[in-house]
Structure 1
Amino acid sequence: MSLKRILYISTAKDQNDRKEWSGTVYYSLHALENAGYIVDYVNALAGIQQDFIDKLWVRYWCWIANHLKKNVRFDESFYTARMMRKVLAKIDYSDYDIIFVPTDMCIISALPSRVKQKIVHLVDAPVQSLFEYYTEFSNLTWQNRQEASILTKRAFRRADLIIASSDWCKNESVKHCCIDASKIGVVEFGANMNMADIPGIAKKIDRSKPIRVYWSGVNWLRKGGDVAVEACRELIRRDIPIELHITGMSQLPAEVENLPWIVSHGFLDKNDSEQYHKLIDVLKQMDIFLFPSRAECSSIALCEANGFGLPCFVYDTGGTANYVENGKNGYMLPLSAGGKEFADKIAETIEKDELIRLSQGAAEQYRAKLNWDVWHNKVKALITGL
């Protein structure tokens, strides 16, 4: 039997771009190749040119946003689907068995009706679940919400297989898009780093030194940077020596940038080899991952933290339960918890000498399900069943 050929379509500039969707486009594409598929790549926005109607549409959206003081997301709009349709109409799909589309519902809506190949859609949430949940999906215009919802329903219904990154994602997809749960497979993401660079073993925590707490994020408030700082401040008040190490932020908020126990490593770009290896070195030195993100679908940062054996302390929100199990590789706290409650839980694990066991659980979690080798084996089984 001949190998199946996959046409992988996204908006990354090319298949080696490690920035798009936090690197998930790059690693999922190469995981499919490692599964034995022949994979070609297409950028759904490559070489697009705006005509008069396109420019008028953009001006309309910008006018609405400015006058109504609303947010606008072009990525989830009929405008973007129209632009993609111009590119995707020119492609010859006849050599392919599978069309694989990560996250972007506009791409599936923009596929020509002549496409009869099986469509696989990789998602971490239907867009309806993100409204007023993620800050960037909040305060949208009514029209933007409607267009995004319509595009999502079209994509989910047209797809032959939906690969959801969490049970929460699967349940939300059934709820909002009215689709059969049987066509959704749950497969957790992997850590978006080369597997050779990830230890996948438990930490040896040196209690004679300050405990190194790690936090990472670009969106300070949504990712709970303020809560992480307050938790560490509380631990220090209790005479527990702490260093808080931060990545992802080019500039810290003014109120915390001069705190002597905070070390900011800046924003580290995985496309840059030197910065990528600096991130690896930082993670190797950490002891705990404190990640009180208030809204999270399926965090790649959690996959990476598990790979480096870091016990994870997080909010119980979105799809986090697929990545953190209470008492095994960390703890989830309710969204009502603040910095003090996180400090209480961390202090409790230190007093009970739990960190080593939780670190072992984190490494086991990574090896069992939070890496791209496991992902491609599970996804291959799902595709084979189409």
Structure 2
Amino acid sequence: MKKNRFLIVGAGFTGAVIAERLSKKQDCEIVIIDERNHIGGNCHTKRDDETGVMVHTYGPHIFNTDNRKVWEYINQFCEMVPFVNRVKTVYNGKVYSMPINLHTINQFFSKTFNPKEAQNFIETLGDKTITEPCNFEEQALKFIGKELYEAFFYGYTKKQWGCEPSELPASILKRLPVRFNYNDNYYNTQLQGIPRNGYTDIFEKMLDNPCIDVRLNTHFSYEGDTLDYDHIFYTGPIDAFFGYKYGRLSYRTVYFESNIVSGDYQGNPVINYADATVPYTRVHEHKHFTPWENHDKTIYFKEFSKETSEADIPYYPKRLSKDLEMLELYQNEVKKLTNFSFLGRLATYRYMDMHHVIGEALELMETDNYLRNETT
């Protein structure tokens, strides 16, 4: 009986989960390729040579989910140390707690509200003239009013997305971004943590199987790389796969300026900078993501956002109306293909957190027929 041969394009979480599941469920041959010189995609971590700090190479990644199945799956490959992400925001020379909570409201307005008083007060701030918000700005104004919007959302959002918030869809701000208690946990999810030995260690364990052949610094070619495989799982940019025949989908990307100093730079893992006059969006200090470790020196990164060029790594899909129209054209092309699966953030042009990516890949491996060895 001939072994099934699979090609996986991309060694991030989507590709790694697919490879791991296939290798456990059937006798097959799996080739996983990635253009970068490392596994792990944007979740790649490594220790900084000078400080010894475990660095999240492409920005902070705190694993959080309500999906018990995903949590149990990832914990097979690591010790997930409980971690609560407490983000601060600097605006107009003062430090505030984020997301907006009871402490933020009382500090910003110099009040001593209890939860009910704060809720009633915020309701008076919302713009009652906006019934059906048409964009991000109107959605925020309807929820929290002009003062909080301009302080914590306008400048930060403009820097992050490179356009006026009024140009962004209202769906980006799906619900009221306010808590009427003193809970400053950045996430609402029940299961939160950071792997003790970093994320790269997880990928190494997931891909440690003799039937998995990892090839780095390898570019995918549709003409040359598909004939020898029974199925191809593609996790790269959907527009790149088709040679940008309908144009390039728009993304924002980020870049970093790093510095090393002695001691503790900012006393917190992440501090946002909401003022539009500050060129960077946030500063992350990575020693605070591993509070169980001790380091004499520290490394911190100023994070900047910009439009994605041909040489950049795409991070956040903008999903403006023109993008969605173009996306539909590419998705119609995907439907014409056989023996291909497009999944993950780039291949589906959706913003997805780690747990979403893992959950999608696990579901595909459970519900489809790739785990059945039917090739003879």
User: TM-score range with shorter-chain normalisation?
Assistant: under 0.3
- TM-score normalised over the length of structure 1: 0.24
Which structure's residues are more often helix, by fraction?
1
Which structure's residues are more often strand, by fraction?
2
Which structure is higher in RCO with an 8 Å CA cutoff and minimum separation 6?
A: 2
- TM-score normalised over the length of structure 2: 0.25
